[in-house]
């Protein structure tokens, strides 16, 4: 691995450049497990990839959607990636045949996840792990930035895709199979208070809430051995 968590296979030419983006705060044990488990799989899949961990380094309520937008934006400042995999840190792939690359349509990867008994929790579920090419992520203005706290930002993005006629696809549950790390509720990620109200305006808000309204401060960018750590702060009152 090159510093910053970059890998290029030496015995073939990868067809896509992949940015793996992980929203993060205070989950060190999960992150180490994730890297230990995940990097060998990606190498076996002969992918060219860089791992970005986007850390919310303030005392504000956690905001997963905003962090993923930051990851997309910051990764593109470094390289012209073909494919973005947006990945929770506590969900570990179980099947090597679940190849991490983008296709013609956005992809929902967390299909059979241990914590839901290896079934979808509901049919429109679109959480935990998704894959996008640049054009599609930009077409829906990325994720909403206004979901502070747990829940809803993934459903909101599902509505964006549907509104644009850009419906996502899934792999079979045998292939897209994941283990879950058990954990307690994160103290700075309570259930989002406004999430159901926000969901009602998801289609309309897509035009002005997302990549084009993203405001954050980068505190530091560190090239770690296995990943690039980008620490940011957000101001909820802006």
- Which residues are near ligand NGS by CB under 6 A? 121, 127, 151-152, 154-155, 195, 199
**Residue 132, SS3 per DSSP:** strand
Of 151 and 190, CB closest to ligand NGS: 151
Of 9 and 151, CB closest to ligand NGS: 151
Of 106 and 152, CB closest to ligand UDH: 152
Interface residues with ligand UDH (CB under 6 A) are 22-27, 62, 64, 88-90, 150, 185-186, 188-189, 191
Shortest separation between residue 62's beta carbon and ligand UDH, angstroms: 5
Burial of 140 (0-12, 13-18, 19+ CB in 10 A): buried
Q: How many Å apart are CA 83 and CA 17, to the nearest integer?
A: 6
Q: How many Å apart are CA 133 and CA 121, to the nearest integer?
A: 26
- The partner in contact with residue 23, picked from ligand NGS, ligand UDH, none with C-beta cut-offs of 5 to 8 angstroms by kind, is ligand UDH
Q: How far apart are the first and last CA of the chain?
A: 39
Shortest separation between residue 122's beta carbon and ligand NGS, angstroms: 7
Of 33 and 233, CB closest to ligand NGS: 33
Beta bridge partners of 50: 6, 19
**Residue 77, SS3 per DSSP:** helix
């Amino acid at each position: 691995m090159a510093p910053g968590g970059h890998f290029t296979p030496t015995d073939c030419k990868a067809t896509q450049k992949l940015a793996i983006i992980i929203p993060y705060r205070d989950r060190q044990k999960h992150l180490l497990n994730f890297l230990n488990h995940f990097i060998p799989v990606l190498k076996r899949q002969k992918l060219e990839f860089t791992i970005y961990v986007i850390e919310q380094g303030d005392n504000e309520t956690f905001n997963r959607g905003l962090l993923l937008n930051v990851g997309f934006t910051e990764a593109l400042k470094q390289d012209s990636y073909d494919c973005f995999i947006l990945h929770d840190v506590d969900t570990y792939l179980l099947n090597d045949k679940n190849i991490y690359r983008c296709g013609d349509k956005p992809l929902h990867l967390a299909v059979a996840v241990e914590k839901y008994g290896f079934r979808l929790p509901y049919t429109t579920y679109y959480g935990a792990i998704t894959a996008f090419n640049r054009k599609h992520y930009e077409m829906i203005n990325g994720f909403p930035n206004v979901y502070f706290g747990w829940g809803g930002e993934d459903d909101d993005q599902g509505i964006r895709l549907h509104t644009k006629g850009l419906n996502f696809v899934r792999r079979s549950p045998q292939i897209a199979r994941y283990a879950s790390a058990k954990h307690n509720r994160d103290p700075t990620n309570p259930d989002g208070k406004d999430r159901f109200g926000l969901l009602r305006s998801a289609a309309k808000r897509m035009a002005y809430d997302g990549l084009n309204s993203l405001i954050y401060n980068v505190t530091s960018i560190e090239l770690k051995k296995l990943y690039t750590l980008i620490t940011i702060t957000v101001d909820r009152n802006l």
